[in-house]
């Protein structure tokens, strides 16, 4: 047996010489830094990483990653990445996308990629705005959003991206925040380890067109009151003094104060492997419920669902094992033939 030795990478090995063209102060810088740092640790040869993107600010990402990179067309990254995976399941393929690219123009590809469980890691930068086209509302913008194309406020109801992903049979959904570096890195590591589609909503600040969209979560003082960190096997507790928890009453979630008769044993215990999607669905939209914190971390990680590309390859191998490798001369002569003599 030979042991291939992997080069030891540092974050620097994943940086390119390209001039980064995001606005100063953009949340994308923090995401880039986290991804470069995590890639260095994953133990994957650099040439096996492929970063594929669509269109939008987030989709410039591949140019700044020293891996194979393909900046494609608006919304189509999951479809192009599916083609890559079907030919080379061994490649580690990541998709950089945004709320417009993934949920609006590319919505169809997003849901079908998730349904098939193609082994792609999708980083969906959600800034609730169209940045590159200079400030129109997006499918995640809140009702009433005043933007370039909605001077009197948007009347569109927004998506909950993770509810949509779950409804598309996603096997891995997670949420993190651009400025929560350690949490973001940990979430990326878990996504990298997942077999199948991993859909990560990264709450990202567009400081030019939608500054402060996530302020209630990221603001230092408010942070611990507004965010609940999900940890597998641990109860759902939050608050500066870890004095609040979430419990289930019937089919409804409820925020309860801990103490005076209510303890950890009464709370929901996070189970990311729960095959019943009802729990993860409740978590996926908890952030939009008044008085509830925003859950971050892995909401769901189903194990043991085969990857699409493996099933496709397996079928090819099975047919080849049964019929032998195709013989072109035989194929051309298949069916009824006849001879014309000279």
**Min. distance of Cβ 295 from another protein in angstroms?**
30
Nearer to another protein, 89 or 239 (CB): 89
**Min. distance of Cβ 40 from another protein in angstroms?**
14
Decide if residue 108 touches another protein (CB under 8 A): yes
Judge contact between 165 and 173, C-beta under 8 A. yes
Among 241, 251, 304, 339, binds another protein (CB under 8 A): 339
The span from the first CA to the last CA of the chain, in angstroms, equals: 59
Among 73, 132, 255, 256, binds another protein (CB under 8 A): 73
Residues in the chain: 342
Q: Which stretch binds another protein (CB under 8 A): 26-34, 59-67, 205-213, 232-240?
A: 59-67
Among 109, 128, 145, 270, binds another protein (CB under 8 A): 109
Cα R_g (the chain), whole angstroms: 23
Decide if residue 20 touches another protein (CB under 8 A): no
* Number of residues forming the site for another protein (CB under 8 A): 58
User: 235: which 2 tokens?
Assistant: 């109860």
Judge contact between 75 and 98, C-beta under 8 A. no
**Min. distance of Cβ 29 from another protein in angstroms?**
18
Parallel, antiparallel, or unpaired: how do β-strands 294-301 and 172-177 relate?
A: antiparallel
Taking residue 96's Cβ as centre, other Cβ atoms within 10 Å add up to: 32
Among 91, 203, 206, 298, binds another protein (CB under 8 A): 91
Judge contact between 121 and 79, C-beta under 8 A. no
Q: Angle at CA 246, nearest 5°, toward 240 and 249?
A: 155
Q: Which residues here bind another protein, judged by CB under 8 A?
A: 16, 18, 45-50, 52, 62-63, 66-73, 76, 79-88, 90-91, 108-109, 112, 312, 315-316, 319-320, 323-326, 328-329, 331-342
């Amino acid at each position: 047996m030979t042991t291939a030795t992997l080069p030891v990478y540092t974050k620097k090995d994943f940086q390119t010489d390209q001039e980064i063209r995001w606005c100063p102060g953009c949340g994308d810088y923090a995401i880039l830094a986290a991804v470069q740092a995590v890639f260095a640790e994953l133990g994957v040869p650099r040439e096996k990483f492929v970063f594929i993107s669509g269109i939008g600010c987030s989709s410039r990402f591949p140019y700044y990653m020293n891996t194979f990179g393909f900046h494609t067309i608006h919304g189509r990254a999951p479809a192009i990445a599916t083609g890559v995976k079907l030919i080379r399941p061994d490649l580690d393929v990541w998709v950089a996308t945004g709320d417009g690219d993934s949920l609006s123009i590319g919505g169809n590809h997003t849901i079908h990629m998730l349904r098939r469980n193609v082994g792609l890691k999708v980083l969906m930068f959600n800034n609730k705005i169209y940045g590159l086209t200079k400030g129109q509302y997006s499918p995640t913008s809140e009702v009433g959003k005043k933007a370039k194309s909605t001077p009197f406020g948007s009347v569109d109801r927004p998506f909950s991206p993770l509810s949509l992903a779950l409804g598309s049979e996603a096997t891995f959904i997670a949420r993190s925040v651009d400025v929560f570096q350690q949490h973001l890195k940990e979430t990326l590591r878990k996504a990298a380890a997942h077999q199948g589609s991993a859909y990560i909503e990264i709450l990202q600040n567009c400081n030019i067109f939608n500054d402060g969209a996530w302020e209630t979560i990221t603001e230092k003082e408010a942070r611990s009151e507004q965010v609940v960190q999900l940890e597998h096997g641990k109860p759902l507790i939050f608050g500066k003094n870890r004095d609040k928890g979430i419990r289930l009453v019937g089919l409804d979630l409820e925020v309860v104060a801990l103490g005076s008769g209510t303890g950890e044993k009464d709370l929901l215990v996070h189970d990311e492997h729960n095959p019943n999607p009802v729990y993860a669905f409740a978590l996926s939209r908890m952030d939009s419920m008044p008085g509830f914190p925003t859950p971050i971390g892995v909401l769901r990680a189903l194990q043991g669902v085969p990857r699409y590309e493996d099933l496709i390859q397996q079928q090819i191998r099975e047919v080849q094992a049964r019929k032998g490798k195709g013989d072109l001369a035989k194929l051309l002569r298949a069916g009824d033939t006849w001879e014309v003599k000279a």
